[in-house]
Amino acid sequence: MTETENKILELPILPLRNTVIFPSGITPLTVGRPLSLAAAEAALATEEKLLGVVAQREDNEAEPTPDNLYKTGTVVVINRMMRSPGAEEVLHLIVQGQERFRIVGFTEQTPYLKARVEILPEPTREKTPEVEALQRNIQVLVQKALSLLPNVPPEIRNIIVQADDAVRLAYFLGSVLDLTTPQEQALLEADTESELLHLMHTYLTREVEVLEIRSKIANQAQEELGKAQRDYILREQMKQIQKELGEGESDQAEAQLLRERIEKAELPDEVRAEAERELKRLERLPAAAPDYHVIRTYLDWILDLPWRKSTEEALDLNNAQGVLDEDHYDLEEIKQRILEHLAVIKLNPKTKAPILCFVGPPGVGKTSLGQSIARAMDRKFERMSLGGMRDEAELRGHRRTYIGAMPGRIIQALRRASVNNPVMMLDEVDKLGMDFRGDPASALLEVLDPAQNFSFRDHYLDLPFDLSKVFFIATANTLSPIPAALRDRMEIIRLSGYTEEEKLHIAKRYLIPRQIKESGLTEEQVHFTDEAVQGIISRYTREAGVRQLERSLGSVARKIALKVAKSEGDVFTVTDAELEDYLGHEMFFHEMARQQLPAGVATGLAVTDMGGEVLFVEATLLPGSKGLTLTGQLGDVMQESAKAALSYLWSHTHELGFDCAEKFENSAVHIHVPAGATPKDGPSAGVAIVSALASLCSGRPVRSDTAMTGEITLSGLVLPVGGIKGKVLAARRSGMKRVVLPKKNEPDLKDIPEEALRDLEVRLVERIDELLPQTLTPGGDGQEEMPIPERDGVTAGNEVRVESGQASH
């Protein structure tokens, strides 16, 4: 009787929010809305406790009207009912779905909805292959879903696995799955098994997809979390390890600090890029790595170098002149050169700095001149001594691959100067060594070439540094050891020795005040007479410069300081006579003009590192023997020069007026040049040798007041030689009255201070036959001097008598 198809019933209708009840399973319901309460009460009052439940279309409708309800619902039987302990007006029901129905029409709407419903049959079972396939697929999908859901109770698992009826399983899944109300309603409204299973299949597929994605996301999240956690733990461990090793946590801070410094530093683009690249490497390294400190030091070097920092040029020419004059006496040519350069810089700031090379004997003020140039230009002064440097790497640095590599001296000096335009003095370039480690002179070529040095590459830095603003000054004592290529790059400025007058000035202006001060005395307490200073210069020193002079002055000053300290007096005047008390016996005595020269002795002039010097050439005949003996440590050139002299005289014996040939035929000749222990070389003694030999042959002594220098040739020419200034000064110092020089050396006389020439008679000769009358004393025939042929309108004897002003003739 209950099992009638399309049976019509009249049932109280309970609107459901958010859910659909399927004709299977047991569902708990809580009823609180008045409409629903009334419907539930009405159902309970019937014999069979049947209730129709229909889903609401709008969940938030509190008082749903028939229009708001789906038309298809489920007949449920109320299995259990109880009232809430606190609130009587809330019912808790447990209902079991029985059959589907379709609402035919509502019969009542108050106090509850009541409708006539037509009971719908169960979806018709079909045994088609399609249904079969859908069933199996659903089973597979369900298994998949179960494997993806972590916490499915085993009861549900069993129900699903053991379900033998596809429709029941679909209804069950519909209530279990997280479906929307319209989806659930569609399941409920399905009239055939295939329709129902199709819907279920769609829902399940989607559900499984969602589950899969969810599980993937969850896995990923877990994976990411796992990795982050792992990194964190490892980092923490590393920190602990570093702490244990006492390395602290400063690396990151250090890298950060370096980064800030790089940002602030004024670096050229290329340098900045390199610095940043190195910094990145540094950040990746632990502080304990050996490379860490290499990179760290390298970055420090980059940051410390004055890539763009310059000192402002002081372009006040008058001030510069003042500074130069204040520091150095005379040296007009050099001062002029500096001032010219300053003037050029003033007009064209982009001009390249000159590269000067001061050549001169020690103590003439080459180094201090560099300092005053820096002072005059208001630039920093950096000095490096190249003496004895043998390794190219010392100049240009070692590559960073070597342990303990450092930049070269040039870059180091620039860091010290901390500006890129210092005056840089390369001292003693003539004393550069050279061996298998390389040739530092060649490395200097790049440094000193204005065409290349704007991008000087130090091996260590391996970045181009602009050296073109650096004012390079090289110094050397002699030019000859300097390789030609290097010499060619520099502007050579010669500083020859000072004259005694100059020394006197220097002593009075600089040395004496300085030494008095250093001895703790005042200028009022000590006074040097000019004669005393000259005495020191001539008898206690022998030098082109003034170092020995300064030491001697210092020594005198100290002895006076001792007396002052012992209260033996207050004011002291040092006179020439007292010098022996202060300085002991005279240290040197120059080869002074000999009062009377025997035949065969001539006074020559030589130049040494210490300045000019007088030397004597002695010749003697050894009758009964043959040949030429040369003694006195003569070099090859000088020996050849002696041979040339002998040959000239021998071959020209008829023109000379005395017979050389006969003497040379019958006797050997011995030439000796004292001081025998000092090696001597060079061609400039030629005229002295020829004079000595001529004197020997003629028996006429060489004039004792005449000194001479010059190279000779076999054809009788007198060729020019170097060091004229030093030689002339030496001649004067030795008390000579006359000097015979090659005619071609005439321009050199301009270099000689006028006071040095004052009491000196200078004779210029072009040929040996002009020379001999000037050097030999008149013969016994009473002839004053040998006749000299007139030539080129030059007065006989080519005498140059300097009265005042420029040398003239």
- The answer to the question of residue 45 lying near another protein (CB under 8 A) is yes
Least distance (Å) between residue 112 CB and another protein: 14
Q: Between 119 and 443, whose beta carbon lies closer to another protein?
A: 119
Q: Between 76 and 739, whose beta carbon lies closer to another protein?
A: 76
Q: Between 78 and 689, whose beta carbon lies closer to another protein?
A: 78
CA distance between the termini of the chain: 164
DSSP code of residue 331: -
Region from 74-82, 131-139, 556-564, 637-645 binding another protein, contact rule CB under 8 A: 74-82
Residue 161 exposure: Cα atoms within 13 Å on the Cβ side: 11
**Active-site residue (options: 175, 538, 684, 691):** 684
Phi, psi of 668 (to 5 degrees): -80, 155
Least distance (Å) between residue 80 CB and another protein: 6
Q: Given the DSSP bridges, would you call strands 601-608 and 611-623 parallel, antiparallel or unpaired?
A: antiparallel
Of the candidate residues 53, 75, 493, 741, the single one contacting another protein (CB under 8 A): 75
Least distance (Å) between residue 74 CB and another protein: 8
Region from 9-17, 42-50, 422-430, 659-667 binding another protein, contact rule CB under 8 A: 42-50
Of 204, 214, 198, the C-alpha closest to 176 is 204
Please report, to the nearest 10 degrees, the dihedral formed by the alpha carbons of residues 417, 423, 424, 429 taken in order: -170
**Active-site residue (options: 372, 727, 734, 743):** 727
Exposed e or buried b per residue across 688-705, where buried means at least 16 C-beta atoms within 10 angstroms of its C-beta: bbbbbbbbbbbebbbbbb
Euclidean distance between CA atoms 591 and 333, whole angstroms:
31
Q: Between 41 and 705, whose beta carbon lies closer to another protein?
A: 41
Q: Dig out the tokens for 636 from the structure.
A: 């090859």
Of 126, 118, 80, 124, the C-alpha closest to 99 is 118
Least distance (Å) between residue 30 CB and another protein: 15
Of 431, 427, 435, the C-alpha closest to 391 is 435
Of the candidate residues 33, 71, 77, 681, the single one contacting another protein (CB under 8 A): 77
Least distance (Å) between residue 134 CB and another protein: 20
Q: How far are the Cα atoms of 112, 324, 344, 491, 492 from residue 337, in angstroms, in the given order?
A: 122, 11, 11, 10, 11
Region from 94-102, 302-310, 431-439, 605-613 binding another protein, contact rule CB under 8 A: 94-102
Of the candidate residues 53, 54, 55, 78, the single one contacting another protein (CB under 8 A): 78
Region from 44-52, 246-254, 664-672, 685-693 binding another protein, contact rule CB under 8 A: 44-52
Instruction: State which amino acid sits at residue 333.
Output: E
Least distance (Å) between residue 96 CB and another protein: 7
Other residues' Cβ atoms within 10 Å of the Cβ of residue 214 = 12
Let me know the angle formed at the C-alpha of 363 by 357 and 369, rounded to the nearest 5 degrees: 50
Of the candidate residues 19, 56, 98, 109, the single one contacting another protein (CB under 8 A): 98
Q: In what order do the strands lie in the sheet with 355-359?
A: 381-385, 423-427, 471-476, 355-359, 491-494
Q: Between 3 and 792, whose beta carbon lies closer to another protein?
A: 3
Q: Between 156 and 218, whose beta carbon lies closer to another protein?
A: 156
Q: Between 85 and 388, whose beta carbon lies closer to another protein?
A: 85
Q: Dig out the tokens for 706 from the structure.
A: 């005449």
Of 642, 649, 596, the C-alpha closest to 619 is 642
- The answer to the question of residue 176 lying near another protein (CB under 8 A) is no
Phi, psi of 424 (to 5 degrees): -110, 120
Q: Dig out the tokens for 265 from the structure.
A: 């530093």
Q: Between 165 and 466, whose beta carbon lies closer to another protein?
A: 165
Active site residue 508: no
Of the candidate residues 33, 34, 44, 265, the single one contacting another protein (CB under 8 A): 44
Least distance (Å) between residue 63 CB and another protein: 22
Q: Between 189 and 428, whose beta carbon lies closer to another protein?
A: 189
- The answer to the question of residue 173 lying near another protein (CB under 8 A) is no
Within 149-192, residue ranges assigned H as helices are 154-162, 166-176, 181-189
Region from 38-46, 381-389, 424-432, 642-650 binding another protein, contact rule CB under 8 A: 38-46
Of the candidate residues 13, 36, 52, 99, the single one contacting another protein (CB under 8 A): 99
Phi, psi of 702 (to 5 degrees): -75, 145
Of 681, 680, 647, the C-alpha closest to 664 is 647
Region from 81-89, 190-198, 355-363, 755-763 binding another protein, contact rule CB under 8 A: 81-89
Of the candidate residues 6, 60, 82, 388, the single one contacting another protein (CB under 8 A): 82
Least distance (Å) between residue 2 CB and another protein: 5
Least distance (Å) between residue 232 CB and another protein: 56
Q: Between 25 and 66, whose beta carbon lies closer to another protein?
A: 25
Region from 72-80, 232-240, 488-496, 651-659 binding another protein, contact rule CB under 8 A: 72-80
- The answer to the question of residue 316 lying near another protein (CB under 8 A) is no
DSSP code of residue 568: S
Please list every residue from 102 through 131 that binds another protein, using CB under 8 A: 119, 121-122
Q: Dig out the tokens for 62 from the structure.
A: 């509190």
- The answer to the question of residue 304 lying near another protein (CB under 8 A) is no
Contact 633, 677 (CB under 8 A): yes
Region from 97-105, 233-241, 261-269, 539-547 binding another protein, contact rule CB under 8 A: 97-105
Q: Which residue reads 């030629």 in tokens?
A: 686
Of the candidate residues 18, 30, 46, 336, the single one contacting another protein (CB under 8 A): 46
Active site residue 114: no
Euclidean distance between CA atoms 669 and 8, whole angstroms:
166
Least distance (Å) between residue 18 CB and another protein: 22
- The answer to the question of residue 41 lying near another protein (CB under 8 A) is yes
Least distance (Å) between residue 140 CB and another protein: 26
Q: Between 99 and 501, whose beta carbon lies closer to another protein?
A: 99
Euclidean distance between CA atoms 210 and 215, whole angstroms:
8
Of the candidate residues 32, 58, 68, 80, the single one contacting another protein (CB under 8 A): 80
Euclidean distance between CA atoms 660 and 663, whole angstroms:
5
Residue 160 exposure: Cα atoms within 13 Å on the Cβ side: 24
- The answer to the question of residue 48 lying near another protein (CB under 8 A) is yes
- The answer to the question of residue 49 lying near another protein (CB under 8 A) is yes
Q: Between 98 and 183, whose beta carbon lies closer to another protein?
A: 98
Least distance (Å) between residue 28 CB and another protein: 14
Region from 48-56, 354-362, 499-507, 568-576 binding another protein, contact rule CB under 8 A: 48-56
Of the candidate residues 83, 239, 243, 437, the single one contacting another protein (CB under 8 A): 83
Of 41, 58, 131, 141, the C-alpha closest to 93 is 41
Other residues' Cβ atoms within 10 Å of the Cβ of residue 385 = 15
Residue 515: CB partners within 8 Å, gap ≥ 6?
Answer: 550, 553, 554, 556, 557
Euclidean distance between CA atoms 62 and 800, whole angstroms:
139
Annotate each residue in 8-37 with x if it binds another protein (CB under 8 A) or - if it does not, as one string.
---------------xxx------------
Residue 637 exposure: Cα atoms within 13 Å on the Cβ side: 10
Euclidean distance between CA atoms 546 and 511, whole angstroms:
9
- The answer to the question of residue 47 lying near another protein (CB under 8 A) is yes
Q: What number of H helices and E strands is found in the chain? A: 28, 25
Residue 546 exposure: Cα atoms within 13 Å on the Cβ side: 29
Query: Binding residues for another protein, how many (CB under 8 A)?
Result: 30
Residues at the interface with another protein (CB under 8 A): 1-3, 23-25, 41, 44-50, 75, 77-83, 96-100, 119, 121-122
Catalytic positions, please? 684, 727
